[in-house]
Chains A and B, each alone.
Chain A
């Protein structure tokens, strides 16, 4: 959610019970403004909150002029002092995939993981237990990146691609219509397209190059059938005045959009764990 319209956004996203206490709100409003100034971001998003056992991580993201460029991620424990997180790498993801369970809330906490590694000593090959230490900060980076790739979404038309390449906020975006708001195909993943390149020419024929340049949600796995939802739950709340998408794969991510207005955004409040039991639960 946009840091500048934080209060409205929080109000809209409150249907899932995920809010911020008044002191957190106030401090976020103050500190994100300073973050925007200091880091020279064109836009700062309040990304969400990862619940730790001891304390919570508050996450913000800075966007540059090109909205699809890699985002800078910051975290804070007290909503005032922000620290920049390093960009996520493949290596980190592999490394942290072995860690399970909850976050502690201490970035310097180290998870211990014992691995069996083959050690060559001369001719002999024997296995040895090696204790791998993984810092929680690394895991945080990796999890945020995974969530961003998987479930950060935007309504169709909120961004547009300029002829010169960079993507900007579409100032003429006036919100989805009601019928569009109920379809998964009107929402896009907020990331560089991956599946779009694999599409056939026939499928691309109807796409508007200035708007349809991102992957839409309708091909997410597990796919929703007409009767049962896949990895997303779409609900109309407050009559039809608000559409709320909740990710079932990453429970805790809530996307809200008020049709016919440009109010939209997403927030993640959760434990930072993927719901791998999803097929059992549907």
Chain B
């Protein structure tokens, strides 16, 4: 600040030089300030920051109204015409004001430069002109820009009254001076330590980075927007820019236009939502597609479609079931199924939950004779499998073959009987194609009882388990469906009765009643009775024996038949090993009341209750299976239905225990066929030789042959 203060003094010298007053008098006068106008130039010099403000009049004085300005300046003192020093006087303030606008260090530097040009002079009066010129030279190059700044500044600060009262000006000046000093000090301080700028720099950079963040919607960023706004303001210079800043902002935004760049690929979103919607649309359009009236009549007459919505209503009373819309979609899907297949009877069996997808299961019965083709195909594949195993057996005779024969596979039940009485179709979601499940084999049921697996929702998933499951998930699902159906399909007592004709035949053949028919005289059962006594509910699906079939198959008889074709020896051996007769497995017969079901460790297998305690007269009886969680049945006296919604596994209070590994096969018992005699000793051989020789002689004589044989036998 020394430089600047000296500069100030120089200026005042320049200014007052022509009046011939000593400069210190002038400073004193200016500090006391008899003339307000005069005080301004020093102020402008002292306070670089606020320089432009007071200069409104001095700046203009040389340009527009020189005389008035000079009058103002020199008012009480000497009234001199426009004099040479005036020009140099008028120019420094712009220089300083420029410095104010420039970076602080620059201002220090320039202030340093100016006094350098000034200092040499000793005689203020004489040198004033030169110094003024030199300053002018320095500043002349940028004069235009200064003027512009001055103009804008003058314009902005125009309303400010130059001649305000003295004291205020004084204070202001002092403050400004202080401020300028502190600013310069600050600048110096700041330049010395290097940490401070780095911190600040980071903050500034992060702030700038934030401002530069591009909006995802418009593609603009705030930094560009602000700079555009400022450019616009500076270009147009509106009055009261602060008042219309919002409009300016809006204008700038509206002026900005963006071209949507072509990204070459179409944004073709194929969401699965649309995919399934498209498929389900087909369900809803079905009705319109059928145009032939005759067919419609026929269908109404046949009416293989179940009333899903009605039973869903009753199940809803029981607090079970899928949502209304999903139920309706399933209803439509069942309609699609019955339209496309020769189905005599169809039923919504339930829903099996899976890990990735679920299964919707439909239970159908084909019309007579229409499902034979498919059944034959399945048989063919099985026969092929058997043929291969037979081929393996018939080859080598030299070495002993394996005596182990796999346990006789129990043949599966014919379609329409036993566990294969119904055919099951599954789909993952209504609208997706129905897939027919293969018929179940007893082996699958037996193994399925030993394992506990989650369904994945994909039918071709292999089941990895111990013991190995013969088949993939579709077989496992089918086996579980068979087990669940056998366990949980119940009807109120009296709804079904045995067919009279069939009854006799089957009793002879199988020893159990296999089929039933609806009782036309069924008059309904009181709902309260159904709830109070479980003996009013009966199973109408055959019990599955431990063998895996519903009807007993005697494995021994058949094995004998097959073995007759083979060698007879093996048959004899096996007969010796196996018992001649396996006791027939017997389960509860058809239409057995569920009150006779086995308990699960003191837990009753069924829970029956009324759907509503508030209005019992219109309530329905709800039956819940505790053995198969998710299996429900309802009966409202006349109608009944069964439904299963669950994960497809059986309940047990104990944790699942994997089956024990099969027993290790015993080795062949050590007997005379295995053990060998000791090698013959020398004595024995010699004795044998002697005996032979002895034998040879008698042989010639043909005597004592009997004795020789006896001896040989002894050696053995």
Verify that A and B bind, or say they do not: yes
Q: A21-B317, A23-B612 are in contact. Are A14 and B454 (CB under 8 A)?
A: no
Give the residues from 575 to 618 in chain B that come closer than 8 angstroms, CB to CB, to chain A: 601-604, 607, 609, 611-615
- B274 at interface, CB cutoff 8 A: yes
Partner of A19 from the list B274, B321, B630 (CB cut-off 8 Å) is: B321
Contact of B323 with A11 in the complex, beta carbons under 8 Å: yes
Q: Of all chain B residues, which has the CB nearest A224? A: B355
Cα–Cα, bound, A22→B274 (Å) = 32
Residues of A within 8 A of B656 (CB): 277, 280-281
Which residues of A does B touch, CB under 8 Å?
11-12, 14-17, 19-24, 51, 53-55, 78, 100-102, 178, 229, 233, 235-241, 246, 248, 251, 270-271, 273, 276-277, 280-282
The answer, among B273, B277, B626, for a CB contact under 8 Å with A102, is B626
Is A277 a contact partner of B276 (Cβ separation < 8 A)? Answer: no
Return the contact of A101 from the options B319, B603, B630 (Cβ within 8 A).
B603
Number of B interface residues in the complex (CB < 8 A): 54
A235 touches B358 (CB 8 A): yes
Please measure, in the bound complex, the distance between the C-alpha atom of A281 and the C-alpha atom of B650, giving whole angstroms. Answer: 12
A53 touches B607 (CB 8 A): yes
Contacts of B453 in A (CB 8 A): 280-282
Give the docked Cα–Cα distance between A158 and B319 (Å).
29
**In whole angstroms, how far apart are the Cα atoms of A238 and B324 in the complex?**
13
Whether B645 pairs with A16 at a CB distance below 8 angstroms is yes
CB pair B454 A282 closer than 8 Å: yes
Are the CB atoms of B645 and A276 closer together than 8 Å? no
Main secondary structure of the interface of B (DSSP, over half): loop
Chain A residue nearest to B654 (CB atoms) is: A100
Contact partner, B655, options A11, A55, A271, A276, Cβ 8 Å: A276
CA distance A147 to B271 in the complex (A): 35
The smallest beta-carbon distance between A254 and chain B, in angstroms, is 10
A126 and B322 CA atoms in complex are apart in Å by 57
Determine if B646 is an interface residue (Cβ-Cβ < 8 Å). yes
Would A241 and B322 count as touching, CB distance under 8 A?
Answer: no
Q: A16-B353, A240-B273, A246-B353 are in contact. Are A101 and B653 (CB under 8 A)?
A: yes
A34 CA to B273 CA, complexed, in Å: 40
Of all chain A residues, the one with the shortest Cβ separation from B321 is A19
Cα distance, A157 to B451, chains bound together (Å): 40
Shortest CB–CB separation between residue B39 and chain A, in angstroms? 54
* Pick from A17, A251, A271: contact of B351, CB under 8 Å: A17
Contact B326 A15 (CB under 8 A): yes
Contact B629 A240 (CB under 8 A): no
In the bound complex, residues from chain B placing their C-beta under 8 Å from that of A280 are 451-453, 656, 658
Query: Is B318 among interface residues, defined by CB-CB distance under 8 A?
Result: yes
Chain A contacts for B320, CB-based, 8 A: 17, 19
Decide: A21 and B316 in contact? CB cutoff 8 A: yes
CA distance A229 to B354 in the complex (A): 11
- Between A and B, 20 residue pairs with Cβ closer than 8 Å are A11-B323, A15-B326, A16-B645, A17-B645, A17-B646, A19-B323, A21-B316, A21-B318, A22-B316, A23-B614, A100-B653, A102-B603, A102-B653, A233-B355, A239-B277, A240-B273, A248-B355, A248-B454, A273-B653, A280-B452
Tell me, yes or no, whether B553 is within 8 Å of chain A by CB. Answer: no
Bound together, the chains give a CA A281 to CA B656 distance in angstroms of: 9
B272 CB within 8 Å of chain A: yes
Q: B457 to chain A: closest CB distance in Å?
A: 8
Q: How long is the Cα–Cα vector from A51 to B320 in the complex, in angstroms? A: 12
Cross-chain contact A233 with B356 (CB below 8 angstroms): yes
Given contacts A15-B358, A102-B626, A280-B453, 10 further A-B contacts (CB under 8 A): A11-B324, A12-B323, A24-B319, A51-B624, A178-B271, A239-B273, A239-B274, A241-B273, A281-B454, A282-B454
Q: Is the CB of B649 within 8 A of A281?
A: yes
- Residues from chain B with a CB closer than 8 A to the CB of A238 are 273, 276, 326
Distance to closest chain A CB from B325 (angstroms)? 8
- Cα–Cα, bound, A11→B325 (Å): 9
Interchain pairs with CB closer than 8 A, number: 107
Closest Cβ neighbor of B274 among chain A residues: A239
Contact of B452 among A53, A102, A178, A277 (CB under 8 A): A277
Nearest-neighbour CB distance to chain A for B333, whole angstroms, equals: 14
**Chain B residues whose CB sits within 8 angstroms of the CB of A276 once the complex forms:** 655
Which of B275, B323, B656 has the largest count of A CB atoms less than 10 A from its CB?
B323
What are the interface flags for B451-473 relative to A under an 8 Å C-beta threshold, 1 for contact and 0 otherwise? 11110000000000000000000
Binary contact readout B195-209 vs A (1 if CB under 8 angstroms, 0 otherwise): 000000000000000
**B323 near A240: Cβ-Cβ < 8 Å:** no
Q: A236: which B residues are within 8 A, CB to CB?
A: 272
Beta-carbon contact of A235 and B614 below 8 Å: no
Q: Does B647 touch A at the CB level, under 8 Å?
A: yes
Return A174 CB to nearest CB of chain B, in Å. Answer: 16
Q: Does B357 contact A (CB under 8 A)?
A: yes
Taking a contact as CB atoms under 8 Å apart, the answer to whether A21 and B612 are in contact is yes
**If the complex has contacts A102-B626, A102-B653, A281-B649, are A21 and B277 also in contact, measured as CB distance less than 8 A?**
no
CA distance A238 to B276 in the complex (A): 8
The interface residues of chain B lying within 8 Å CB-to-CB of A239 are 271-277
A246–B357 CA distance with the chains assembled, in angstroms: 12
Residues on B with C-beta less than 8 A from A271 are 629, 651
A21, B651: Cα distance in complex, Å: 24
Q: Which residues of B contact A53 (CB under 8 A)?
A: 603-604, 607, 626
Which B618-668 residues have a C-beta within 8 angstroms of A?
624, 626, 629-630, 645-647, 649, 651, 653-656, 658
Q: Which residues from B are CB-within-8-Å of A12?
A: 323
- What's the minimum C-beta distance from B628 to chain A, rounded to whole angstroms? 12
Q: Which of B271, B272, B647, B649 counts the most chain A CB atoms within 10 A? A: B647
Contact check: which of A17, A233, A277 meets B321 at CB < 8 Å? A17
Q: How far is the CB of A243 from chain B (nearest CB, A)?
A: 12
Query: Most chain-A CB neighbours within 10 Å: which of B275, B356, B451?
Result: B356
CA distance A35 to B491 in the complex (A): 41
On chain A, the residues within 8 Å of B355 by CB distance are: 229, 233, 248
Inter-chain contact A19/B649, CB cutoff 8 Å: no
Cα–Cα distance between A19 and B312 once the two chains are bound (Å): 12
What is the chain A residue whose CB lies nearest that of B454? Answer: A281
Chain B positions within 8 Å of A55 at CB level: 609
Q: In the complex, A270→B651 CA distance in Å?
A: 12
Instruction: Give Cα A178 to B651, complex, Å.
Output: 35
Looking across the interface, which residue of chain A has its beta carbon closest to that of B277? A239
What's the Cα separation between A91 and B317 when bound, in Å?
40
| Given A19-B316, A22-B316, A235-B356, A14-B273 contact (CB < 8 Å) | no
**Which chain A residues lie closer than 8 Å to B654 at the CB level?**
100
Q: Please tell me if the beta carbons of B322 and A17 are within 8 angstroms of each other in the complex.
A: yes
Contacts of B354 in A (CB 8 A): 233
Report B-chain residues with C-beta under 8 Å of the C-beta of A235.
Answer: 356-358
Least CB distance, B350 to chain A, in whole angstroms: 8
CA distance A282 to B611 in the complex (A): 36
Contact of A21 among B275, B607, B611 (CB under 8 A): B611
* Residues of B close to A281: CB separation below 8 A: 452-454, 649, 656
